[in-house]
């Protein structure tokens, strides 16, 4: 499974890169719902972890990661190296989450 062959480093331990296929990415743009914003605002009154926003961030990052994996698989990759995340607020309450890396074909070393 490709998702287990993903790393933030430039190498994949125990494997040799045979071909570099290019940059792959997954992009998700999300807005907070009115109810989520109100719920998060209420959680800030108590202090501590804002679980509504934590769950939203985790879900969006997971979706961006899955899109990146699908893009890599479409190119014929069996691994992705140099994976990074980036997030940008596009407008008030609307954020873009980007997951990107380099799609490669690797071979297990003996």
Domain ranges of the chain: 2-31+62-108
- C-alpha torsion sign, points 76, 99, 32, 48: positive
Q: Which residues contact 35 (CB under 8 A, 6 or more apart)?
A: none
Q: What is the pTM of this model?
A: 0.82
pLDDT above 90: residue 75: yes
First and final CA of the chain: distance in angstroms?
Answer: 20
In this predicted model, what pLDDT tens digit does every residue of 13-58 receive, in sequence order? 999 999 999 999 999 998 765 555 555 555 566 666 666 667 878 8
Interacting residues of 99 by C-beta distance below 8 A, sequence separation 6+: 25, 26, 61, 64, 65, 67, 68, 83, 84, 85
Give the count of beta carbons closer than 10 Å to the beta carbon of residue 27. Answer: 15
Class of the 2-31+62-108 domain?
Answer: alpha beta
């Amino acid at each position: 499974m490709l998702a287990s062959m993903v790393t933030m480093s430039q190498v994949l331990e125990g494997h040799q890169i045979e071909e570099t296929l290019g940059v792959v990415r997954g992009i998700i743009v999300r807005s907070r719902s009115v109810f989520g914003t109100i719920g998060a605002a209420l959680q800030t009154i108590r202090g501590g972890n804002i679980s509504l926003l934590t769950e939203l961030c985790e879900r969006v990052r997971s979706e961006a990661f899955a899109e990146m994996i699908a893009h890599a698989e479409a190119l014929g990759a069996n691994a992705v190296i140099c994976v990074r995340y980036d997030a940008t607020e596009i407008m008030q309450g609307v954020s873009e989450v980007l997951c990107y890396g380099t799609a490669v074909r690797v071979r297990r070393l003996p």
